[in-house]
Structure 1
């Protein structure tokens, strides 16, 4: 069986369905752009459409996009109807054959748009292109990994994002082909297919250690972090089974699904919390031995709490660990012996994995304004905010309710941790930096 030219088949407009002939047929519902949106079979075409289960659904869509019914006469061989229908559905993948009848049609989403929208969601969740096997046994396969850490990860956000894509009236569908048991994190393994290329998405615990050195490549025009040739070769050397399972696996250089950027993600109205956007790390490269890191600093006032913010030459903002310790623990200088271990433990208790695997370093810093030299660990400003906001887990009752609702009013007896934690639930220090330039 080969593709047919729909334009060459006899057809009538949807609302002229009573003009359909009395014959056995495979029928195709197409829109004004020629896209096939539904395929079916029948032994009596006109009778089938007198009370078609999708007619009311299609009629709604017909108001904005004129639909037609085309048919392929099969009266000479009724035994092939079922087989032909399945073959045509698998060939054209019409979106409504994959959607519920009760779902009203407001928009048919082209497969390219659905693909790019789902990939954009995954890219926002720090998904990494692991590689591309162009000679895979089943079909050419792009391997994507999303980060997890221990039993925590972004599997829930991935699941919500892809299920939302699956709700669209589109022939592109993501299948969760395996789910880890809850005791192992309930991480999901997903796959989809576009134009003969399979996309495989799976969790990976080691990603947090390689994100910093990853390169940037595109899949279907969407930019991702991607393993470099050297990174992939290093991984394969340490895990030779990867090459045995995927002998054609290579780092992505050129886009395996080249296409123009068709559609952007819908603008968020601020109320959609189904997908978590993960910000990239702001980790600094270590200084050469014997050298100090030069930075500027400014002091922000939040409800009487002074927060020192350091800024490097690239405009990235950090908070020294001493400042965090003073605000959160009311201690000037913590024990140096377990300092790095403590901060690793702190970030591991956060509800996000964005900082898991972060490399904390104690280093010498000199401030340009006054040549003051200090020894500190620099925490990215966003990490500092995450740590301070997470302090609400230590509060309960009325205080916690006031923090979350934004009704908190500071009292003289409230400590710096309470005041800053409450303020950060609905604000960001970066908003103050915009008006307090270095």
Structure 2
């Protein structure tokens, strides 16, 4: 393709931070520094829309602090092939450094659930929370540890507790505290909270009159954190004075042994090399968003696993994805779910949050136009990284229930000829991965 004879310095341009002043047109754009060196080249069907959420903007903004950057553009046809060819030719000609580098993705810091639990319990202990008791039966609920925090009329530490637990919830951890009930503001707006760890529920609620039973209390640990705790004789006295109490808490007993045995990690221990408060997980590279009117050009291939066909998409960086349509077809038998009516994005977010790994927390699901160049096919889909697809398919809790779930989770399920696509893929991926098949077919 013959490139137009142009001088980049003569093209219209705006300062990087004035990107909102870019025109609404199809163009090849050039990001240059104050010396005229081109550091990045791209294409856009709608220039101003492309730069509203450009995947390189944060990176370029850092460069701009030391060396002012500008965006120049060459207006051209909106034809996708013309834009793509021009972009490739200009990149070959100028060899801009950022076009040959990945978008920097920081390693995500993950707080282990044990650390988040201990940190939240430490905050509660500082606020005079009392271990009321442990109910190993708890009716329809899991075995429950009951914690109580003191209130006095409309006064109490509910605000401090709410702040502390919400801060814990902001951490990248699978431990989350839920405020399942809140008193009306006229009564103090006291919150009732709960969380779960390893099948044990922790219930936190406000109570008046704690000061009246403080005499004779003992000290016990929960998850290695020391609390004030009611003794067996105190619980017995409460049951005698309130006959209905036994009905509400049929198996309540004083805490003697730690119901969540765990070694306490002090702040200094968390900071040294023997006990890390965070762990590192392999990051995923965020898909750069496409501007309105643009399409994502990809290739695809089809794998066949135990009679199930799986379409794998590949982008220009060699990354593998599965369209949401494929996941829906395998799990629900529907190739074309309605994005809005079937709440596809919300469902995907909920499924990801339910995974035992939190690797995918914060992943942004985007509905995009995808163009398969080899087949000349254009579709609208949400792309799931192949690793995410495998994680979702391997996790049976989101797909099965009852005896089937128990057998698959325990590995006791025996495959049957009439098994659904969903069961076949789940069982196969528990022992294998699709990546070796891709490498074989690409070799």
Please give the TM-score of this superposition, normalised by the length of structure 1: 0.39
Please give the TM-score of this superposition, normalised by the length of structure 2: 0.39
